[in-house]
Amino acid sequence: MIQSVDRAARILHELGSGSPTLGVTELGGRLDLAKPTVHGLLRTLEQSGLVSQDVATGRYSLGPRVLQLGNAYLAGSELRSRSMLRAGALARQVNEAVWVTVLVDDAVMVVHHEFRPDDAVQILEVGATVPWHACAFGHAIAAYLPQREMEALLEAPRRALTGRTRTEPETLRKAIATVASRGVAVENQEANVGDGGLAAPVLDHANRVVGALGVVGPAERLLARQARARLTRAVTETARGVSRDLGASRLLPADGRLSHR
């Protein structure tokens, strides 16, 4: 691993999480690096447009080029492009907002957001992240991850986002097992009070989980008994369709968990 590149990436990560602008000294403190080292890295990153400096204050922030890269990632994402049509159809069919998400570290990130057809004003959540343990998408992905990676997720520390967030390893392990047997994950106000979700995993041609697809919205509307049954069927069918498009062969067997290796 190349030291300076890794440090540069850590700087970008630091600028991207928490305070939007940071000074050289502060960055050096957080990453345990000497001031001139951070300075050199920042100047290089600035020249590439990945970071920009406020000439007035001297502080640094992320540069516009990272947004351009983010857009390029979306444009090139196979999961996204392959799921857009089916996600749109699902949104119209069940009249709910649809998300397509991937796992990045210990959070799921929205790569596609299909608006609920009936609502006029909605905010786009593409690029937003939610801790994996607090949403249906995270559970759906975790349930089909190789054992080792799933354990890694369970071992990391977690914090509660609402009063209903499940954080205990054993509780989560049980929840994941249920997901694996049913093929769908359900979340009830574990990330935001009032909101719920329902998601199923998406597999690729090697039957690996590459993400999850599902619906989000008011918990009371999504999780009412009738709606829930209808949504479960529609979501699993759509996710299965996307998986098939990606070349997956073993499509959510009845016993859930796929064998890995």
Pick 50 or 198: Cβ nearer DNA: 50
191-230 positions binding its own copies, by CB under 8 A: 205-206
Site residues (vs DNA, CB under 7 A) = 1-5, 7, 23-26, 33-37, 39-43, 53, 56, 58-59
Please pick, from the candidates 24, 27, 66, 199, the single residue that binds its own copies as defined by CB under 8 A: 66
Closest approach of Cβ 157 to its own copies, in Å? 19
85 touches its own copies (CB under 8 A)? no
**129, exposed or middle or buried, with CB in 10 Å at 0-12, 13-18, 19+?**
middle
Please pick, from the candidates 104, 156, 177, 224, the single residue that binds its own copies as defined by CB under 8 A: 104
* Angle (CA) 230 234 240, round 5°: 145
Pick 45 or 222: Cβ nearer its own copies: 45
114-153 positions binding its own copies, by CB under 8 A: 124, 126-129
Please pick, from the candidates 49, 53, 166, 228, the single residue that binds its own copies as defined by CB under 8 A: 49
90 touches its own copies (CB under 8 A)? no
31 touches its own copies (CB under 8 A)? no
Where do the H-state alpha helices sit in the chain? 3-16, 24-31, 35-47, 64-76, 78-94, 136-143, 147-155, 169-182, 219-222, 225-245
As given in the structure block, the two tokens for residue 31 are 């990453």
57 touches its own copies (CB under 8 A)? no
> Binding partner of residue 34 among DNA, its own copies, none, CB under 5 to 8 Å per kind?
DNA
> Binding partner of residue 53 among DNA, its own copies, none, CB under 5 to 8 Å per kind?
DNA
**Strand pairing partners for 209?**
203
DSSP letters for 82-106: HHHHHHHHHHHHHTSEEEEEEEETT
20 touches its own copies (CB under 8 A)? yes
Yes or no: say if 133 and 158 are a contact pair by the CB < 8 Å rule.
yes
Please pick, from the candidates 25, 36, 67, 220, the single residue that binds its own copies as defined by CB under 8 A: 67
Residue 119 three-state SS: coil
The position carrying tokens 């050096």 is 28
Burial code of 242-254, b = ≥16 C-beta within 10 A, e = fewer? bbebbebeeebee
- Cα–Cα distance for residue pair 160/131, rounded to 1 Å: 10
Query: CA end-to-end span of the chain, whole Å?
Result: 27
Please pick, from the candidates 24, 27, 33, 41, the single residue that binds its own copies as defined by CB under 8 A: 41
> Binding partner of residue 169 among DNA, its own copies, none, CB under 5 to 8 Å per kind?
none
Closest approach of Cβ 75 to DNA, in Å? 20
Yes or no: say if 212 and 199 are a contact pair by the CB < 8 Å rule.
yes
Binding site for its own copies (CB under 8 A): 1-2, 4-6, 8-10, 12-13, 15-17, 20-21, 40-41, 43-45, 47-50, 55-56, 61-76, 102, 104-105, 109, 111, 124, 126-129, 205-206
